[in-house]
Amino acid sequence: MTPVADALPSPGEVTRLLRAWGEGDASARDHLIPLIYDELRRQARSHLRRERPGHTLRPTDLVHETYLRLRAQNSGWDNRQQLFAVTSGLMRRILVDHARRRASAKRGRGLRVTLVEAPAAAKAAEPDLLDLDTALDELAALDERQARLVELRFFGGLSIEEAADAVGVSLATANRDWATAKSWLYRRLKQLDR
């Protein structure tokens, strides 16, 4: 698996390969991964940027683990947004699993992440990744769409427009859901941090 640095693949090529993979063509999967490798690395860097300094996983490690988990699935995705939504969810699970292993090994607090959209923004208190995962699961029980939107924005690094498209809602609805979900998560994470 090597990155392709020439140019971004056309959305049509990615969609064609996704459909072929969904129809059982394993070679389509193997042709797709190099085409999207750079985007997967961008996603991985976005995930890891919110982690504590000195994190033991590197973007390449996260991409390769995601690839292994993605290979085990049979694609039923219609477009690149759906694919990147799935890879974002896989990266979240990998990071949460990693945090759980580290926390159980150390018997201490898990990894730290921030809900600040721009990492260079003000130094806010950063929630524990395991607390964030718990809070997201609770939010999903209340409103699956809001939880999915947070996952796509926070873990996937998608813009609000891309996340709205992936979830299948209007931009106005996505903005409302994003504001509501952030507020709910902020309150819930304060409760969990006590």
Per-residue DSSP letters for 175-186?
A: HHHHHHHHHHHH
User: Which residues, including other chains, have CB under 8 Å from residue 3's CB and lie 6 or more apart?
Assistant: 34, 37, 38, 41
Contact 158, 166 (CB under 8 A): yes
pLDDT at 189: 85
pLDDT digits (tens, 9 = 90+) for 22-81: 888 878 888 888 888 888 898 888 878 777 666 778 888 889 888 888 877 766 777 788
Among 55-69, 125-139, 141-155, the least confident range: 125-139
pLDDT at 176: 94
Question: Is the pLDDT reported for residue 143 higher than 90?
Answer: yes
Which one, of 161, 12, 128, lies nearest residue 78 by Cα? Answer: 12
Confidence band for 179, pLDDT divided at 50, 70 and 90: very high
pLDDT digits (tens, 9 = 90+) for 83-98: 888 888 888 888 888 8
For the chain, give the mean pLDDT: 78
The sign of the CA dihedral 35, 41, 44, 45 is negative
The residue among 7 and 77 whose pLDDT is bigger is 77
Residue type, 82: Q
Q: What letter does residue 128 receive in the DSSP assignment?
A: B
pLDDT at 11: 67
pLDDT at 117: 55
Q: Six-digit token pair at 178?
A: 């994003």
pLDDT digits (tens, 9 = 90+) for 9-25: 676 888 888 888 888 88
What is the average pLDDT across 150-165? 83
Helix (H) and strand (E) counts in the chain: 8, 0
Among 13-17, 128-132, 170-174, the least confident range: 128-132
